[in-house]
Amino acid sequence: MGFINALFLSMEHIVIIGNGISGVTLARHIRKRSDAKITIISAETKYFFSRTALMYVFMGHMKFEHMQPYENDFWKKNNIDLLEGMVTEVITDEKQLLLADKSKISYDKLVIATGSKPNKYGWPGQELNGVTGLYHKQDLEALEQWAPTTKRAVIVGGGLIGIELAEMLRSRNIDVTFLVREKSFWSGVLPSGESKMINRHILEHHIDLRLDTNMVEILSDDNGHVRAVVTDKGETIDCQIVGLTAGVSPNIDFLKGSAIELGKGVKVNRFLETNVKDVYAIGDCAEQHEGIDLRRPIEAVWYTGRMMGEVLAQTLTGNPLQYKPGHWFNSAKFLDIEYQTYGWVWAKPKDDENHFYWEHSKGKKAIRISFHKETREFLGINTFGIRMRHEFFDKVLTNKESVDYVVKHLAEANFDPEFFKNHSKEIQKQFTTEFIGTKTA
């Protein structure tokens, strides 16, 4: 039947470049609503895997197959074609893709979901053996190859991937020097209290944290492998692995020269359409003409990639919808400390914002609530070492509840496992002292 349909009814062919969370979510949701022919092209792996779990495979918590959320026969069962190949050119006039092996593929609708690549800022020696980001499956393979002969690694870039890479390497008893450009870890995003807490935790894990330090150059040995890095403090650090984790940028080099409008990423409107008809972009590689609400134009986050996939599937199956992400949320884990955030908490409060910060005496749990100075409207929360309910804060943000409401209902918002110590009382007490004024006894 499928064949006959394709022949006579000229079934629509949707081609998705990239099999990350965005592309795969899109394909799954299209399949729920339509019989269109779907092809996913990937040069990285045949089957979808969860990039977020690469670290756990290296650390030996999981095997590669554990990262694959769907069994291998899932794709055939759902009639989603998987194609391994590297797209080198998009010929929009002919609605064709050119692959590295010179084969051509025609599409009716094209979705670019090629994700990101690690930033390289033109450091001398950045192409040497032993230098890697942590993004692709191939990065993991390279690390596996180098790890047994590595005594020390240097990681450049103090963000979420950098700390993951540090944790990975430490799990194999490799010494790690962690170069962070800022004066404190991830301080562009985290306010000082939380950032300092993570600094301490990094040191506790015997990671050699160098704040306010940049890499200048990577030195090579005789075989073209990394030998050492030189910092802007004039120090030369011997190492056999260099991890480049100074952020990511859209993986769209193959589109240069095509008719598709590019900025840093693939420019899209709120319907995730590019300037070329029937070409769309989602996930890390998509760039909104203007950031939505307080979001950045490019959001390289798992959740937004998934959400764009969910939305675009509607559009491509006859229910055109704009991408309207709801309230911002995100999460991460810094070594042993879990982090969640709901709404917006800026590293430095804006003029009309107040921050309330509580930290546990042992220094591994903290929350920060941002709220409006005058209206006391709740704006966002950072939570460390305490799990909170997404649903609770989504509702609070939608209903524009006050900070007082949130502090009062903290126990209800808590999502920690049973028997965990609840710190709501202590937090409420501190909040009362700082922002309500001491009550007369």
Partner 1 sequence: MSKSIENISVASHDNNVLDGIQKTGISIGLIGLFIMALALFNINFPYKGIWLTASIVAVFGGIILYANRTYLNKPEGIKNDGIMHSSLTNKGTLAWMVGIILTSFYVVLYWFPKYLGLNSEGGANTGIVAFFDPLSLLLNGKPASQWFVYGTLYTIAIVGLGYKFILKYRHNKYQLVRTISVMFFQLGFAFLIPEILEKLNPEKAYFAKDLKNMWPLNYYFFNDWHLKAMIEGGNLGMFMLLFGIAMIFIISPILTYFYGKRWYCSWVCGCGGLAETAGDSFRHLSSKSMISWKIERWMIHSVLVFVFVMTIAVIFTFLSNNPEMSFITRDQFIGGIVIFLTVFTTALFLFKRKDMDTDAVYTMVTLVVIIIISLLMNYFSGNQNILFIDSNSLREWYGFAIGAAFSGVIGVGFYPILGNRVWCRFGCPMAAILGLQQRLLSKFRITTNGGQCISCGNCSTFCEMGIDVRSYAQKGENIVRSSCVGCGVCSAVCPRGVLKLENDSPGGRINANEILLGNDIDLMDYVNNK
State which residue, 106 or 322, has the beta carbon closest to partner 1. Answer: 322
Is 109 near partner 1 (CB under 8 A)? no
Report the residue from 117, 172, 181, 360 that binds partner 1 according to the rule CB under 8 A. Answer: 172
Report the residue from 15, 17, 21, 26 that binds partner 1 according to the rule CB under 8 A. Answer: 21
Secondary structure of residue 164 in the 3-state scheme: helix
Is 390 near partner 1 (CB under 8 A)? yes
Report the residue from 127, 289, 326, 375 that binds partner 1 according to the rule CB under 8 A. Answer: 326
The residues, ordered by sequence, that sit 6+ positions from 441 with a Cβ below 8 Å of its Cβ are none
| Stretch 396-435: interaction string toward partner 1, x if CB under 8 A | --x----------------xxxxxxx--------------
Residue with tokens 């003409």: 289
Please give the structure tokens belonging to residue 111. Answer: 């979705």
Is 138 near partner 1 (CB under 8 A)? no
Piece of the chain touching partner 1 by CB under 8 A; list 120-128, 260-268, 306-314, 352-360: 306-314
Q: How far is the CB of 105 from partner 1 (least distance, A)?
A: 28
Q: How far is the CB of 418 from partner 1 (least distance, A)?
A: 5
Q: How far is the CB of 298 from partner 1 (least distance, A)?
A: 18
Q: How far is the CB of 75 from partner 1 (least distance, A)?
A: 14
Residue with tokens 């929009």: 92
Query: What stretches of 212-365 adopt beta strand conformation (E)?
Result: 215-220, 226-231, 236-238, 241-244, 248-250, 266-268, 279-281, 286-288, 329-334, 337-343, 353-359
- The count of chain residues that interact with partner 1, using the rule CB under 8 A, is 74
Enter the DSSP assignment of 417. Answer: P
- Residue 191's closest CA among 52, 419, 383, 351? 383
Q: Find the angle CA(375)-CA(407)-CA(381) to the nearest 5 degrees.
A: 80
Report the residue from 103, 145, 236, 375 that binds partner 1 according to the rule CB under 8 A. Answer: 145
CB 382 within 8 A of CB 349: no
Report the residue from 89, 261, 338, 377 that binds partner 1 according to the rule CB under 8 A. Answer: 338
Q: Find the angle CA(141)-CA(75)-CA(299) to the nearest 5 degrees.
A: 60
